[in-house]
Structure 1
Amino acid sequence: MTLPSPAETKQALRREASRIRREQSARQGAAAAAAIARAGAELALPPGTVAAGYWPLPGEIDDRPLLLELAARGAALALPEVAAPDAPLRFRRWMPGDPLAPGPHRTFHPLPSAPLLRPTLLLVPVLGFDAKGFRLGFGGGYYDRTLAALRRDGGLIAVGLAYAAQQLPAVPVEPWDQALDAILTEEGLVSVVQA
């Protein structure tokens, strides 16, 4: 009998994780986003923090309340844009009310005229996560490439945003997978168990 590869296992987990996230979003979407914004007060913000979030897709935790909280505490804000299919994401300055342009994968990003910024705090959408900080995403590799590139220069904290119900016993890990430093859920900050 042949065991499924990590990629095959991840694909099966993605289907189940997507179902759980849809249910949780329908049940507690706005309340969870508000709770995560309150829990974000635990995040340290050194001077000069650039907090990069994401424009939420349907079902994803809405990170905008947390971004507003971080901006009120002095962080500059940024949103990602896809530079190329196999490249790391890049980030442009953003504030609520700024115009956005449509991107690939149903995303939105700041206009090309917005300045590029390097995040020091990166908020990451999550389909599923485990206690070691590994995350299950959509499988495009954008965040793994981005985390690897940003970590080469140092000074990055990566925080996943998820519903507590999205925690998995273990996420299958492939060599390029990047662990998160912490996860914020509606129940609070989840510390990552270092391997």
Structure 2
Amino acid sequence: MSPKSPIDPVAADKAALRKAALDRRDELPAQDRAAAAEAIAARPLPVPVGAGTVVSGYMAIHSEIDPAPLMRRFVENGAGLALPVVQGRGKPLLFRAWAPGVPLTTAGFGLLEPGPEAPVVVPDVLLVPLAAFDRAGHRIGYGAGHYDMTLAALRAEKPVVAIGLAYASQEIVRVPANDRDARLDLVLTEAEIIDCR
């Protein structure tokens, strides 16, 4: 009989919190989700941008808040866009330049990504999807750790701003975190801008 592998209590707590948060998110009517994305984009941008600033967004899946309206605002203010590319489990994300209207390829889990012909770029601002968050800037993602690894690698090279996008209903009192979890600088919801710095 082989010994049981140790159970990570933080991971177990996150899994339960993730499921509850995703259930709440899924229950939001489609029109409320669309209105929340527009409300976030209607406010002044949360960080200064200009020519040369690269903002990494994402293509929303399932009931995620849609960053497209906010991404358009960044472009209107002179920023260039990028989208993340998953390189595989245990690896940080890669970012490729993208502009609205440019075709995307379908990758694993139905994610839409720029093709290999798109130039690799290093973002200054990252819009980060999430399942749940707290006011300290901790987030629960989908469990693979891609954004945690990516933020750690980017922040070792230069200052970057990580902005979580969420519905207000995704907030929880406290996200169980460990030293591998990268904190968000800001969280934008339809209700407010939360500065976690």
Aligned residue-pair number:
191
CA distance in structure 2 between the partners assigned to 1:51 and 1:39 by the alignment:
17
CA distance in 2, matches of 1:57, 1:70: 21
Shift of 1:46: 4.5
Q: Which amino acid letter does the alignment assign opposite residue 60 of structure 2? A: P
The residue number in structure 2 matching 1:153 is: 157
Give the equivalent residue in structure 1 for 2:145: 141
Residues 182 and 25 of structure 1, relative CA distance in 2, 3 Å threshold? farther
Greater Rg, structure 1 or structure 2?
2
Cα displacement string for residues 81-138 of structure 1 (whole angstroms, at most 9, x for unaligned residues): 0112211001111111101011112211011101111000000001100010000111
State how 1:19-168 maps to structure 2 within 5 Å. Answer: 19-24=23-28, 26=30, 28-39=32-43, 41-168=45-172
Q: TM-score, normalised by structure 2?
A: 0.92
2:188 match: secondary structure: strand
* Percent pairwise identity: 42
Which consecutive residues of structure 2, in runs of 5 or more, have no partner in the other structure? 1-6
Structure 1 runs not aligned, ≥5 long: none
Question: Is 2:50–2:77's contact at 8 Å kept on the other side of the alignment?
Answer: no
Q: Match of 1:8?
A: 12
SS of the aligned residue for 1:66 comes to: helix
Q: Which amino acid aligns with 2:153?
A: A
Local SS of the residue matching 1:117 = coil
